[in-house]
Structure 1
Amino acid sequence: MQLKEFIGDREAVSPVIGVILMVAITVILAAVIGTFVLGLGDQVGDTAPNANWDAEIDEPANGEYNVTFSHTGGDSVDAETLSIEADDDVFSGDDAYASVEVLSAGDSITREIDDGEDGEITFNLIWESGDQSTILDTETLDVPE
């Protein structure tokens, strides 16, 4: 056996590299197709907005109080993705109402409170999109008698 012939023999290199590349391409395609089939690609864009909020109880109008969350800075938020909930069922209406469709600094979202409730109540401003939800702000407010 001659050493020069052994070093110069490169016939098997090309098929080995070809097989490795085919396996790599197959794995990448399987990962991409699997991501879309399982629906993981839909969740990439759904992240909670980073915004600052302030809350207060409005003075009674027609015997009803309102809790209002005001947007004080940060990301804009679609009003339809927000809801206001409390630690007990104190709301007379089903939906919170916003001053605009997209809330940015200076805008607010409000919900009516039953006039029979008083004392400290914890309110949560909740963002929901698809199957994800996040509490954006929690405030404990004193509802006057």
Structure 2
Amino acid sequence: MKLTELFTSDDENRAVSPVIGVILMVAITVILAAVIGTFVLGLGDQVQQTSPNAQWDWQNTSNADELTITHESGDTVQASTLSFTGSALTSDITDVTAGTNFKGGNAFPSEIGAGDSVTLTSGDSSLSDGSGNEVRLVWQAEGGGSSSTLTTYEFE
């Protein structure tokens, strides 16, 4: 085969490169449309929130009518995402910033950090300290996407 024949060919020796080019262009267009579509529809913004990583300490008085929970260390937690629930409470406490639910009117601040604490009492928060009853501190993601129990105290 002569060198000049490589550059001057007739229709019989034509390569398939135009077909491959069209296929690649279509593939790129489909991929771009899929990526743009997910963000336009908001699917890219739905990142799962994870529960805060914090350590909590429970203290029960000797006569078992007071239960204090203290944020020991870890992530700062938004109070609006927390609630108390469990069989030791006659009703759930969904507003942990309301002083009426806790001893002495003291409540959690809007941002709960290390050292912050509240005390549940049998008088203020309908605490029932019977054996086997429990109190759970529950975190719920803003918007209600997910929830998890951060810590649990069980009366003995």
TM-score bracket for the superposition, by shorter chain length: 0.5 to 0.7
The structure that has the greater radius of gyration is: 2
> What amino acid sits opposite 2:135 in the alignment?
F
1:125-140 matches, within 5 Å, as: 125-129=137-141, 130=143, 131-140=145-154
Partner of 2:134: 122
**In structure 1, what is the Cα distance between the partners aligned to 2:108 and 2:150?**
18
Quote the RMSD (CA, aligned, Å). 3.6
Q: Which runs of 5+ in 1 are unaligned?
A: none
Aligned-residue offset at 1:32: 4.1
The answer for the alignment partner of 2:68 in structure 1 is 68
1:105 equivalent in structure 2? 114
Deviations 1:38-72 (A, max 9, x none): x5434315221111111233588xxxx45432111
Bigger strand fraction: 1
SS in 2 for 1:119: coil
Given that 2:75 and 2:113 are in contact with CA atoms closer than 8 Å, whether structure 1 keeps it comes out as: yes
Number of residue pairs matched by the alignment: 137
Sequence identity, in percent?
Answer: 29
Structure 1 residue 122: Cα displacement: 1.5
Q: Which amino acid aligns with 2:83?
A: S
Determine the structure 2 residue equivalent to 1:57.
60
Contact 2:134/2:153, CA 8 A, preserved across alignment: yes
Q: Structure 1 residues 75, 92: CA separation in 2 closer, same or farther (over 3 Å shift)?
A: closer
The amino acid of 1:30's aligned partner reads A
Q: CA deviation at 1:16?
A: 1.9
In structure 2, give the amino acid aligned to 1:5. L
Kindly indicate whether the alpha-carbon contact (under 8 Å) linking 2:89 and 2:127 is maintained by their aligned counterparts in 1. Answer: no
| Structure 2, gaps ≥5 residues long | 98-106
Tell whether 2:33 aligns with 1:29. Answer: yes
Shift of 1:78: 0.1
> What TM-score do you get using the length of structure 1 for normalisation?
0.68
Task: Please tell me whether the aligned partners of residues 84 and 136 of structure 2 are also in contact (alpha carbons under 8 angstroms).
Answer: yes
Distance 1:116 1:35, change over 3 A: same
Deviation per CA, 1:14-33: give whole Å up to 9, x if none: 55235314423422432442
Return the TM-score normalized by structure 2: 0.64
Structure 1 counterpart of 2:79, one-letter code: A
